[in-house]
Amino acid sequence: MVQTSLATEVSVIVPTFNERDNVHEIYTRLSKALGALSWEIIFVDDASPDGTSDAVRNIASHDSRVRLICRHDRRGLSSAVVEGALAASADIIAVIDGDLQHDEGVLPQMIGLISADKTDVVAASRFLGETVEEGLGSESRVRMSEGGISIANKLLKLDLTDPLTGFFVTKRSVVLEALPYLSQVGFKILLDILTAGPTRPRVMEVPFEFRKREHGTSKLDNRVIYDFGLFLIERTFGRIVPLPAQFISFAMINAVGILVHLLILYPLIMVGGVGFEVSQLVATLIAMFFNFSVNNALTYRNRSLTGARFYWGFLLFMALCSVGVFANVSVASMLHTQYATLNLSLSSTAGALITVVWNYVASKVFVWGRERRSMRAHFLSAPRSGGVMEHRNETTAAG
């Protein structure tokens, strides 16, 4: 059994999901790359169904420097990095993907720059090397990444070749300072850390070999693109109107839901000859289902309801929204009655805002929040004695 009594110099955080086939290889490569440094590796696994956690436990039982956080009620790379950083024992934190695409060989150089206090963050850039297209898999992926980087640099006033990289080394204190200001979106934790706090950390970039994925599939999908757009909206306008990203997403989807309502209502009346009451009921139900299902897939993607819980959640969502409609009418009527000179549209807008806020808060707590409160997170770590210890902590809904 491998044990060490030296103070840990660097904590390497490896977020994983369905990376069972890569676990032993990344452990071997990191062990070799880190050499004589005193290190620990913290795997943060999102309850992978392929047995990733078991693969980590097997290594942890023989090497006390390997630890595991197994999350059963949360999803996402950004939150995984944050939880790993909070559990880290070292003052220097390295973040590397579990898909073997990142070149662990540059870690000593990156760690050395932090240790010498030449910078606060060292980002490994895919676009300073010569293998970006091979790593991303296609020219279209390269163009998509380059476009995202260009937009992020312009809107967030950065000057980096790859602010979207998932491979970086930083001081633990930098993460802790940014923690209260991190976005709810969970998009690209490095970009979030760099732009979240009141003061921006010093950043340096180094090139690395961006390898072709050996196992598993890319996690880039349309929802990631949506998260990117939402993150930029929050960061760009958040200092003017400090609204949480989840509320922005909920409100935007609600606005589209109004359009869906009208697109259903008018054809039923004008073309189908259906009465207003029936048309209004049908359009309302369809719009509610649209709002619920899209929010479930996008706004609350990390807590999305599936199976029977999806339909029970929809029924609860409808009930809560009905209360919102009542509040809408009540507030608008009160304003119109007490302030007869107030523009009718202002009274109506006030009522609509009450509805959106109520629906957001109530559904967050009672529809998507209750799943998280009812589930327990399992934190498993290998203590210095080399065994595996299990901790069960009750969790609550978080932004």
Task: Write down the pLDDT at residue 280.
Answer: 78
Residue 63 has a CB neighbour count (10 Å cut-off) of 18
pLDDT at 373 over 50: no
Q: State residue 282's pLDDT score.
A: 85
Extract the runs of DSSP E, i.e. beta strands, from the chain.
10-16, 39-45, 66-70, 92-95, 121-125, 168-171, 203-207, 376-381, 389-394
The more confidently predicted of residues 98 and 225 is 98
Q: Where are the beta strands (DSSP E) in 62-188?
A: 66-70, 92-95, 121-125, 168-171
* Token pair for 311: 């339909």
Query: What was the pLDDT predicted at 345?
Result: 47
Q: Cβ distance 131 to 211 under 8 Å?
A: yes
The answer to whether residue 374 scores a pLDDT higher than 50 is no
What's the CA gap between 154 and 152, in Å, rounded?
Answer: 6
* 295 has a pLDDT exceeding 90: yes
Please choose, from the candidates 156, 175, 164, the residue with its C-alpha nearest in 3D space to the C-alpha of residue 220.
164
Average pLDDT, the chain: 81
pLDDT tens, position by position, 124-162: 998 886 665 555 556 777 788 888 899 999 999 999 999
Select from 7, 24, 8 the least CA-distant residue to 16: 24
Higher pLDDT residue, 50 or 270? 50
User: What's the burial of 305, exposed, middle or buried (CB within 10 Å: 0-12/13-18/19+)?
Assistant: buried
CB 75 within 8 A of CB 46: yes
Distances from the Cα of 336 to the Cα of 163, 262, 344, 350, 351, angstroms: 50, 25, 7, 10, 10
Task: Please say if the pLDDT value at position 329 is more than 80.
Answer: no
pLDDT digits (tens, 9 = 90+) for 139-149: 777 788 888 89
pLDDT of residue 154: 93
Which pLDDT belongs to residue 85?
95
> How much is the average pLDDT of 177-201?
88
pLDDT digits (tens, 9 = 90+) for 331-355: 545 655 665 555 544 544 555 567 7
Which residues contact residue 390 at a Cβ distance below 8 angstroms, ignoring those fewer than 6 apart? Answer: 378, 379, 380
Per-residue tokens: 78: 């950004």
Alpha carbons 175 and 89: distance in angstroms, whole number = 13
